Amino acid sequence: MEYKLIVSSSPHVHSGDSVSRNMYAVILALMPASIASIWFFGLGALGVTATSVLACIIFEYLIQRFILKEQNSVYDGSALLTGLLLAFNLPSNLPLWIVVIGAFVSIAIAKMSFGGLGNNLFNPALVGRVFLLISFPAQMTTWPVSLAGNRFQTVDVMTGATHLSSLKLNQADGLEYLDLLLGKMGGSLGEVSAIALFCGFIFLLFRRVITWHIPVSIFASVVLFSLLLGANPLAHLFSGGLMLGAIFMATDYVTSPMTPKGMLVYGFLIGLITMIIRLFGAYPEGVSFAILLMNGVTPLINSYCKPKRFGREVNHV
Amino acid sequence: MGGIHPGENKLSAGQKIITSTLPSTVTIPLAQSLGMPSSSVVAKGDEVKVGTLIARSTGFVSANIHSPFSGKVLKVDDVYDSSGYRRPSIFIEVSGDDWESTIDRSEELNREIKLTSSEIIKRIADAGIVGLGGATFPTHVKINPPADIKAHTLLINGVECEPYLTADHQLMLEKPHQILVGIEILMKATGVNKAVVAIENNKPDAVDVMRKAAESFTGIEVISLKVKYPQGSEKQLIEAVTGKRVKSGDLPVSVGVLVQNVATSYAVYEAVQKNKPLIDRLVTVTGHAVVRPINVLTRIGTPFGLLIEMAGGDLSQTGKIISGGPMMGKAVVSPDIAVTKGCSGILVLPYLESRRRSMRNCIRCAKCVSVCPMGLEPYLLGRLGEIQDWQSLEKECVMDCIECGSCSFTCPSNRPLVDYIRLGKSRVGTIMRNRK
Amino acid sequence: MSIVLLSIILLSLLGAISAVILNFVAKKFYVVEDERIDIVESLLPAANCGGCGFPGCRGFAEECVKADTLENLICTAGGADTMRNVALALGKESFTSTPMVAVVRCNGIPQYRKKTNEYDGAASCAVSSALYSGHSACAQGCLGLGDCVFVCKFDAIHINKETSLPEVNEEKCTACGACAKACPKSIIEMRKKGPRSRRIYVRCINKDKAPLARKACDVACISCGKCQKACEFNAITIAGNVACIDPHLCRLCRKCNDVCPTSAIVEVNFPQKRESITE
């Protein structure tokens, strides 16, 4: 009988989960926000999104094929996701060549130079975004106001202050909470519609792609500190990049802590730093910086916030 | 804490117990329990009957072995075991089916327990009974803890959380009274007056049958638990039923609970009430590569190949043959090995279900951390095992790992976590032993 | 005072204070070390391979300076030249050491040793060895998963893709012993390189009895004893069902190689004989 049995260690079955399944689930969760972005900002949103996604995928493919000469992994969806998330952090009227530079920084510098997926220390989309913010401050902070009616405009969009900058400058801008929730306000592509993002959050929880710890601790922390520091908690929750950051950026697998305790600490500190920057710093928006700073602290959190061991008082021998 | 829900695949559910055919020559391994291997008391040419003592226990943690067949001893020699190493075994040429006259082969239920507590323990020891849930710990040692530890509850494990396996389920359906008498015997032996039979709620028929049968017994309660793997693991089961966690390094009996498998309770019944030593057990032969998944009562020493043939398995379409369940079972190197006391199932996987997918970098998704029932960090243990950092492995409590496989099962990058954790445990274990 | 002047003064002051503090600390916490250690360390190859048995090149340098004699101190990576330089620098006597090389005592290529199962677990010899006996009927044979390659710092050992066995590059091998330590089957041995790099050894460590060994692999050592009888220099011992050639007694006459029925004995770097026997 010429057959050969296969031998390996247990377990001999697998759940079928894969990296691409998780990445595409997140991409799916972002679709409501993407549709909302096109609804509110017109074809400019589509252009920025498409450019960012394509650029990220192409850069990753080229780097893997010609520089690293390793097995290609663009199909796993992580480059697509980075492209989508980067786009969601940009204004819809950003010149496309700047978008491509941002994609390059995100993929080549923040992700591939660290060793590819799994080895990067900082959230690639955020690194790209912050790089663009600092290098092209003018283009990155002229926010188009929401169209909500004239959505086929690409150029000549009206620009104005975001709700966050109004809060910073203590100006009234006539926005109601409903506007904030739905997204009828100025801002970057993905951050405006809290409802669309929240739908994505529920979907991800249901599919067990992420757990509740990080987003909920960020929300709780923001509410706590806005109350403590005399600001409007709901306004801070729903404006700016907080919803997007809390649900999709801070929960990035590679750069967030590995244990529930660690995740709560991480979320708490992100909320704190965000509020400090928003209320006392020069920038109206603090989420990107807060998340990047905490990405750097994540290894430390991983060292110290160990899970409770079964049957042990202390978490190490 | 943690845990997963692997697909149940109970292909053989409801299959009535059948008896396996007798092979012509068999090898009976001398190492069939945890602890020291037994030592042979027969030699070439000896005639044996079913139930004749053929090997004696050799230490505190060791067990007797009795001949499951009648015939002649050919030799005592090394033969390949499930891991491909050659181990001492007793070779028997089978002829006929003569049983020792001391064994009561009648089918009727023997309800009255005539032996005293210490006599029961001695009978269990003589009969060579070991934990049939898979751990094969000698039962007479387990139910006789040190004098300063007192058990107050006997917890009977009818959970059978591994996918594919249905032997315990079928045993509970067909022999509930015998199991309960066995539990009563164990209660008497350990001086415990409360017993709980835990069954997962994916076996509602077993829960009903056992509950109804338990009405005519005192002190035995049947409870139904939510399904979760690895709830059948001793420490996890104790927590699920009593809420208490056994401290790392302590015996489970230190929280007052003694755990025994339902099949072990049945074997205890047979040993004490029918004077029958442990010579056979229920094995589930299943998997998508067999045509007729079965629950078969088979003698120890029966070759895997015979049982796979009974179930209509096609070895040319087979990728893996697993002794046990898919989560913790052992992939064997050949079907020519013998069923041992610890073999609860033979899982025959077709080729397409047998290969692992290719491995990727750890994406730090922390899913392994969330499913680990022992509160460990499998991604870290796997990485430390890869770079062979034994010191850090010990510090990260690698010895607590029960090798349930939940982490590898869940990992989206298909990383071989259990492989490296096993290596880490064996090296750290050696280092710790050498320290003493 | 203008802001520029103020900045210059303040920063200079800061610089001066830092310099004073650093200078003080450097002097106070200065570790007095024999300066020869630095000199010796600079002569070493800085591979930190551990082949000398000491913790890194610095550890070895310290030992050289401390020791009375350099007799048993050998830098395997640097070789005889390095030790001569160290001896010169320290004014101690230099000793010649026998050049060693790593030798793989398994010849179980797929043609000779049939695979009996397929291993699909983690690609590490240590893991496979801890799990079961291996992918062939020889429980002591090479697993081919490359733990030895992983630890080699000198790029001196590689797994041959066709034979699945490790092959040692003599030029690069420094006999540091890392591969031997990494191999869970203890197949790799450090042996004398031999005159003109010639050596003879038994390329098998299988300790099973002859019928079993032969069934598992065509070129296994079956401990028949023919080699021992043929050797005029008593260089061959047979223990545990396997033959071993003592490199210190072996005179490289190759008589054992001629008589070995399974071709388990191999000769390395010899010219072809008139009637060539397959290696």
Q: For every residue of chain C, which 3-state class applies, written as one string?
A: CCHHHHHHHHHHHHHHHHHHHHHHHHHHCCCCCCHHHHHHHHHCCCCCCCCCCCCHHHHHHHHHHHCCCCCCCCCCCCHHHHHHHHHHHHCCCCCCCCCEEEEECCCCCCCCECECEEECCCCCHHHHHHHCCCCECCCCCCCCCCHHHHHCCCCCEEECCCCCCEEECCCCCCCCCHHHHHCCCCCEEEEECCHHHCEEEECCCCCCCHHHHHHHECCCCCCCCHHHHHCCCCCEEEECCEEEECCCCCCCCCHHHHHCCCCCEEEECCCCCCCCCCC
Biggest distance spanned by C-alpha atoms of chain B: 64
What is the Cα A132 distance to its own chain's centre? 15
Q: Residue range A246-266: average pLDDT?
A: 95
C: neighbours with 3+ CB pairs under 8 Å? A, B
Task: State the sign of the Cα–Cα–Cα–Cα dihedral B340, B342, B344, B346.
Answer: negative
How many other CB atoms are found less than 10 A from the CB of residue B46? 17
Kindly indicate the confidence band of residue C270, based on its pLDDT and cuts at 50, 70 and 90.
confident
Measured between alpha carbons, how far is A6 from C115 in angstroms, rounded to an integer? Answer: 11
Q: pLDDT by residue (tens digit) across A105-117?
A: 999 999 999 999 9
Contact residues, B window 242-281, toward A, CB-based 8 Å cutoff: 245-248, 250
Check if C133 contacts B (Cβ < 8 Å): yes
Nearest CA in chain B to C124: B386
Kindly indicate the confidence band of residue C278, based on its pLDDT and cuts at 50, 70 and 90.
low
Structure tokens at B261: 């498998």
Q: Which residue has the higher pLDDT, A214 or A152?
A: A214
Nearest CA in chain A to C120: A8
Amino acid identity, position C128: S
Structure tokens at B431: 């280092």
Q: Say whether pLDDT at B110 is over 70.
A: yes
Q: pLDDT by residue (tens digit) across C172-230?
A: 998 888 999 999 999 999 999 888 889 999 999 999 999 999 999 999 999 999 999 99
Q: pLDDT by residue (tens digit) across A101-151?
A: 999 999 999 999 999 999 999 999 999 999 999 999 988 888 777 665 444
User: Closest approach of chain C CAs to the CA of B320, in angstroms?
Assistant: 10
Task: State the sign of the Cα–Cα–Cα–Cα dihedral A238, A242, A244, A247.
Answer: negative
Q: b or e along B378-398 (b: 16 or more beta carbons within 10 Å of the residue's beta carbon)? A: bbbbbbbbbebebebbbebbb
Biggest distance spanned by C-alpha atoms of chain A: 84
Q: Say whether pLDDT at A153 is over 50.
A: no
Question: Is the bond leading into B230 cis (omega within 30 degrees of zero)?
Answer: yes
Kindly indicate the confidence band of residue A156, based on its pLDDT and cuts at 50, 70 and 90.
very low
Whether the model clears a pTM of 0.95, i.e. scores above it, the answer is no
DSSP state of A155: S
Q: Say whether pLDDT at A155 is over 50.
A: no
Within 13 A of B259's CA, how many CA atoms are on the CB side? 27
Q: Say whether pLDDT at A152 is over 50.
A: no
Q: Residue range A233-248: average pLDDT?
A: 89
The pLDDT score that the predictor gives to residue A317 is: 75
Residues of A at the B interface (Cβ-Cβ below 8 Å)?
A: 1, 3, 5-15, 17-19, 21-22, 73, 115-119, 211, 253-260, 306-312, 315-317
Alpha-carbon distance values, C78 to B72, B95, C92, C98, C198 (Å):
66, 70, 18, 13, 21
User: Closest approach of chain A CAs to the CA of B232, in angstroms?
Assistant: 16
Q: Say whether pLDDT at A183 is over 90.
A: no
Q: Residue range B410-417: average pLDDT?
A: 96
Q: Say whether pLDDT at C276 is over 70.
A: no
pLDDT exceeding 70 applies to what percent of chain C? 97
Measured between alpha carbons, how far is B274 from B14 in angstroms, rounded to an integer? Answer: 27
User: Closest approach of chain C CAs to the CA of B139, in angstroms?
Assistant: 27
Which residues in chain C touch residue A8, judged by CB atoms under 8 angstroms apart? 119-121, 131
Which of A15, A18, A316 comes nearest B397 by C-beta? A316
pLDDT exceeding 70 applies to what percent of chain B? 100
In this complex, do A309 and B370 lie within 8 Å of one another by their Cβ atoms? no
Measured between alpha carbons, how far is B164 from B138 in angstroms, rounded to an integer? Answer: 26
HEC secondary structure over B284-333: EEECCCECCCEEEEEECCCEHHHHHHHCCECHHHEEEEEECCCCCCEECC
Q: Which of A149, A59, A145, A75 is nearest to A110 (CA)?
A: A59
Mutate one of B334, B359, B420 to test the C interface: name it (highest C CB count within 10 A).
B420
Amino acid identity, position B46: D
ipTM over 0.85: yes
In this complex, do C119 and A8 lie within 8 Å of one another by their Cβ atoms? yes
User: Closest approach of chain C CAs to the CA of A7, in angstroms?
Assistant: 5
The pLDDT score that the predictor gives to residue A50 is: 96
Measured between alpha carbons, how far is B108 from B101 in angstroms, rounded to an integer? Answer: 17
B: neighbours with 3+ CB pairs under 8 Å? A, C
Check if C132 contacts A (Cβ < 8 Å): yes
The residue behind tokens 């409590």 is B397
The pLDDT score that the predictor gives to residue B256 is: 93
Measured between alpha carbons, how far is B254 from C19 in angstroms, rounded to an integer? Answer: 64
Alpha-carbon distance values, B60 to A68, B37, B52, B140, B254 (Å):
59, 11, 22, 10, 20
Measured between alpha carbons, how far is A80 from A197 in angstroms, rounded to an integer? Answer: 18
Q: Say whether pLDDT at A168 is over 90.
A: no
- DSSP lists the bridge partners of residue B80 as B86
Which residues in chain B touch residue C126, judged by CB atoms under 8 angstroms apart? 388, 423
What is the Cα B70 distance to its own chain's centre? 25
CB within 8 A of B229, min separation 6: which ones? B3, B4, B5, B6, B161, B162, B163, B327, B404, B406
DSSP state of B359: P
Q: Cα-flanking dihedrals φ and ψ of residue B78, to 5°?
A: -80, 140
Structure tokens at B249: 């390094």
Mutate one of B351, B423, B427 to test the C interface: name it (highest C CB count within 10 A).
B423
Check if B315 contacts A (Cβ < 8 Å): yes
Q: b or e along B343-359 (b: 16 or more beta carbons within 10 Å of the residue's beta carbon)? A: bbbbbbbbeebbebeee
Check if B318 contacts A (Cβ < 8 Å): yes
Kindly indicate the confidence band of residue A188, based on its pLDDT and cuts at 50, 70 and 90.
confident
Structure tokens at B117: 């507590």
The pairs formed by C65-69 with CB atoms below 8 angstroms and a separation of 24 or more are: C65/C34, C65/C36, C65/C37, C65/C40, C65/C90, C69/C93
Measured between alpha carbons, how far is B53 from B67 in angstroms, rounded to an integer? Answer: 6
A: neighbours with 3+ CB pairs under 8 Å? B, C
Helix (H) or strand (E) holding B358: none
Q: Say whether pLDDT at C115 is over 70.
A: yes
In this complex, do B423 and C134 lie within 8 Å of one another by their Cβ atoms? no
Kindly indicate the confidence band of residue A181, based on its pLDDT and cuts at 50, 70 and 90.
confident
Kindly indicate the confidence band of residue A160, based on its pLDDT and cuts at 50, 70 and 90.
low
Provide the mean pLDDT of chain A: 88
Check if C127 contacts A (Cβ < 8 Å): yes
DSSP state of B353: G
Q: Residue range A167-181: average pLDDT?
A: 70
Q: Say whether pLDDT at C279 is over 70.
A: no
CA terminus-to-terminus distance, chain A: 50
Which residues in chain A touch residue B382, judged by CB atoms under 8 angstroms apart? none
Q: pLDDT by residue (tens digit) across B360-389?
A: 999 999 999 999 999 999 999 999 999 999
Q: Residue range A273-279: average pLDDT?
A: 93
A100-114, B171-185, C264-278: range with lowest mean pLDDT: C264-278
The residue behind tokens 């302590």 is B250
Q: Say whether pLDDT at A154 is over 50.
A: no
- Burial label for C127, CB within 10 Å (0-12, 13-18, 19+), is buried
- Burial label for B400, CB within 10 Å (0-12, 13-18, 19+), is buried
Q: Say whether pLDDT at B333 is over 60.
A: yes
B65-69, B293-297, C61-65: range with lowest mean pLDDT: C61-65
Structure tokens at A254: 């590679």
The pLDDT score that the predictor gives to residue C148 is: 96
Check if C110 contacts A (Cβ < 8 Å): no
Q: Say whether pLDDT at B127 is over 80.
A: yes
